[in-house]
């Protein structure tokens, strides 16, 4: 069986965010290196917030299809799996290619795997901002999933490919 993997840590945005967090840590150094108590207090507050943000950044998600299982994992720095959840292929009946409108930025394109019915299982495999290149990338992922799983792709309510 083929393996299809979508990782958050492969996007340039994830790496840029890491460099921004590193720059923010360097920028806050005068707060803790100061001789004034007030600066130490604000430095503690600043770095505790920064540590929380780094925690979320350091655990990017990874979605994969392998051996008849859909799996979502959170990996420390994209390498070491910390948490995972698996769902068998039999829980799903089709692949959805969806586009959600956004008010303040580009729309979001989703590659979803869904079952039948209103309370059916849904698995978000990949999402991208809706640029021409990203829409093509999402369609390629949906097509690869369709080939690997045998599930049809549903682009809209009346069109199934």
pLDDT in tens, 57-85: 998 888 888 888 888 888 888 778 888 88
Domain map (residue ranges) of the chain: 1-79, 92-150
Q: Grade residue 36 by pLDDT with cuts at 50, 70 and 90.
A: confident
Tell me, yes or no, if the pTM score tops 0.85: no
Q: Grade residue 161 by pLDDT with cuts at 50, 70 and 90.
A: very low
pLDDT in tens, 144-153: 888 888 888 8
pLDDT in tens, 2-21: 667 777 777 788 889 999 99
The 3-state secondary structure of the chain reads: CCCEEEEHHHCHHHHHHHHHHHHHHHHCHHHHHCCCHHHHHHHHHHHHHHHHHHHHHCCCEEEEEECCEEEEEEEECCCEEEEEEEEEHHHCCEEEEEEECCCCCCCEEEEEEECCCCCCCEEEEEEEECCHHHHHHHHHHHHHHHHHHCCCEECCCCCEC
Percent of residues, the chain, with pLDDT higher than 90: 11
Percent of residues, the chain, with pLDDT higher than 70: 93
Q: Beta strand pairing status for 108-114 and 122-129?
A: antiparallel
pLDDT value at residue 158? 40
pLDDT beyond 60 at 123 = yes
Per-residue pLDDT averaged across 128-147, rounded?
86
């Amino acid at each position: 069986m083929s393996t299809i993997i979508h990782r958050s840590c492969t996007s340039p945005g994830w790496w840029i965010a890491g460099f921004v967090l590193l720059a923010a840590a360097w920028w806050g150094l005068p707060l803790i290196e100061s001789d004034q108590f007030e600066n130490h207090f604000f430095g503690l507050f600043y770095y505790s917030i920064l540590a929380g943000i780094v925690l979320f950044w350091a655990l990017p998600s990874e979605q994969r299809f392998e051996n008849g299982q859909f799996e979502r994992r959170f990996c420390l720095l994209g390498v070491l799996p910390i948490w995972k959840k698996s769902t068998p292929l039999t829980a799903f009946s089709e692949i959805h290619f969806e586009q959600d409108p956004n008010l303040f930025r580009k729309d979001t394109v989703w590659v979803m795997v869904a079952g039948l019915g209103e309370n059916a299982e849904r698995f978000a495999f990949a999402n991208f901002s809706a640029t021409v290149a990203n829409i093509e990338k999402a369609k390629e992922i949906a097509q690869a999933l369709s080939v690997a799983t045998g599930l049809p792709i549903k682009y809209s309510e009346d069109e199934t490919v």
